[in-house]
Chains A and B, each alone.
Chain A
Amino acid sequence: MSTVVVSARNLTKRYGRVTAVDGINLAVQRGEIFGLLGPNGAGKTTTILMLLGLTEVTSGRIDVLGFDPARDPLEVKRRIGYLPDSVGFYDNLTAYENLRYTARLARIDRSEIEDRIASALKRVRLDQVADRRVATFSRGMRQRLGLAEVLLKRAEVAILDEPTSGLDPQSTYELLEMIRGLKADGVAVLLSSHLLDRVQSVCDRVALFHRGRIALQGTVAELAREVLGGGFTILVEARGTDTATLAAIPGVRQVTDEGDGRYRLLADSDLRSEVAGRIVSGGGTLLRLNMLEPSLDAIYARYFEGARDAA
């Protein structure tokens, strides 16, 4: 099932002379996690605000579940759950009261409010502290409370702006698990982050932002093929073999001897079994064989190195 729930065509936003977002195209499908990645100030948050109808669009078209956020913001906002960058709550109210205010603003039926809040808090594991004032909450708990708000609305699209920034590894892990849970419910998740590696693991597809444009878009593997030259990097540690033997394997493009019996192979495909076979049949001892997952950090760094060279 591939239904597009959020799409943007030629989206542009200018603040005076500064172009914050410059003609981007996006399409997010139901039940996928889409990452908006890039450094601070690359236009991620501006894009999100335009999708929500909180900022006017300079030019271009947006479609969220069949509605235009500029014309019909109420229908759009009823269907989107939004977790802003470093979300804030009313500190003098309890977690439950904060969610009840949101529920009333979202016009959730009065008879349902209590049950929905209870189940949302349970899912983010804040049900024990529902009656504590938010002033006492840690950053991770606030972030989870923000996620509970998205759950409470039963949003079809969840937009999460920097959900993991400032969180410790354990809280990050928990939050990402909860985001995966959203995906399992069939919610389309739009996730922005400047921490590429953190979110790489949860995103189905990503868009890399650079100075208001989307530089690259696709799955991590696709981007790797495009930017890193389609290579698979295989790390080998073996005794009784040499560079020439490994380079002779069909499909291996490059072999780097890293010393102490370690070699780094760049190959066209997953050649792990061939490499193992060649080493063993050549009388060598295979100690370690490992294929590197392409990392977004590497892709990003390599891409913009290239872009800078071209410029």
Chain B
Amino acid sequence: MRRKGSPWTGLAPVFLKELADHLSSARMRVLEWLVLLTGIAAVYTAIREIGSVTAEDPFLLLRLFTHARDPLPSFVSLLGFLIPLVAIGLGFDAVNSEFSRRTMSRVLAQPIYRDALLVGKFLAGLGTLAISLVALWLLIVGLGLVLLGVPPSGEEVLRSLTFLVVTLFYGGVWLAVAILFSVLFRSTATSALCAIGLWLLLTILWPILVPFIVQAIIPPDPAAIILGVTSLEQIELQQTLSRFSPNTLFGEIVLALLHPSTRALGLVFPSQLQGALLGAPLPFGESLLLVWPQITGLIAAVILLFAITYVSFQRQEIRA
């Protein structure tokens, strides 16, 4: 039996209302300040450092993003850490709060499908992330222009804009995770805890666990132990497993996009490097090609998570 009418009816009002809610909420303001302050601190120290050391770097703008100096990590690694937190903050009570406020049945009694409500909420979260990220990007580029006085090249702008889009997808993964938990759990506290738990697992515990899992699956070769090296299979498995974490994917994409001289993300044999000018930057297209699988992986994760969320939301009883 087919239902009549467009599933997108009512998408615009839901999107606008949720966006307004996000942008005016105290929670969002706290998260924004957190990102902004840490970001500015990281970039400011990077600028001071770059100003005194490098004069001939062709990618000065990109250095702003990636330069790290103790004790502050680089701006991108800060982002990689904070973006999931912001995304979870935006999404963890998206659906279950409608139940706890008892507004769900009233809203769904209006002539809209559930699709519009869910898609509207997801897009509003993504829109909020996009607005904050673009603002942050402009701020950094502006700071760079003012304090360094070197105009960015076309390629630098292109690379950093691609980085912006990828960061948005990275945030989208965590937003989708948070909204999924908000559908699965009726209590907002439970869904927030689960989302943060998963984030901690994938960000902090997963990199520690992966080597042990690899050891368990592929027992080390006696010859390799004697030589004190890891076997090829082990390294490959380790890399595959660690790529299940969106953080690893994001890290690899950042590496290729913001360090133009990156040529490979895995093992490289000396034979493959024959004739290569080590340290010479790759063109933008080549860098993008290098991490295309990672980018696709992030987008696929967003779509998969959203699909699971969609199905479980459609099957849910509305009676609160």
Q: Which A positions have Cβ atoms within 8 angstroms of B?
A: 45-46, 49, 52, 54-55, 70-75, 77-78, 80, 82-84, 86-92, 101-102, 104-107, 146, 149
State the main secondary structure of chain B at its contact with A.
loop
- Interface set, chain B 1-24, CB cutoff 8 A to A: 1-5, 9-10, 12-14, 17, 21
- 8 CB < 8 A contacts A-B: A73-B5, A75-B4, A75-B111, A84-B105, A87-B106, A91-B101, A104-B12, A106-B111
Chain A residues in 8 Å Cβ range of B12 = 104
Q: Number of contacting residues on B, CB 8 A?
A: 27
Contact A105 B107 (CB under 8 A): yes
Q: Known: A101-B13, A101-B17, A105-B14. Contact between A88 and B4, CB under 8 A? A: no
Chain A residues in 8 Å Cβ range of B108 = 54
Which of the residues B1, B101, B319 comes within 8 Å of A71, measured between beta carbons? B1
Contact A106 B3 (CB under 8 A): no
Shortest Cβ distance from residue B98 to the other chain A in the assembled complex, whole angstroms: 9
Q: Which residue of B lies closest to A104 (CB)?
A: B13
- Interface set, chain B 219-267, CB cutoff 8 A to A: none
Q: Which residue of B lies closest to A97 (CB)?
A: B17
Shortest Cβ distance from residue A133 to the other chain B in the assembled complex, whole angstroms: 13
Q: Which residue of A lies closest to B25 (CB)?
A: A92
- Interface set, chain B 104-130, CB cutoff 8 A to A: 105-113
Contact A71 B3 (CB under 8 A): yes
Distance of A83 Cα from B103 Cα, bound (Å): 11
Distance of A150 Cα from B17 Cα, bound (Å): 21
Distance of A52 Cα from B106 Cα, bound (Å): 11
B102 part of interface (Cβ distance < 8 Å): yes
Chain B residues in 8 Å Cβ range of A149 = 106
CB-based closest 3 A-B pairs: A88-B102, A104-B13, A82-B109
Which of the residues B2, B102, B317 comes within 8 Å of A87, measured between beta carbons? B102
The 0/1 profile, CB within 8 Å of A marked 1, for residues 299-320 of chain B is 0000000000000000001110
Chain B residues in 8 Å Cβ range of A73 = 3, 5, 111, 113
Which of the residues A74, A89, A104 comes within 8 Å of B103, measured between beta carbons? A89
Shortest Cβ distance from residue A280 to the other chain B in the assembled complex, whole angstroms: 59
Contact A78 B111 (CB under 8 A): yes
Contact A72 B318 (CB under 8 A): no
Distance of A91 Cα from B21 Cα, bound (Å): 12
Distance of A45 Cα from B317 Cα, bound (Å): 12
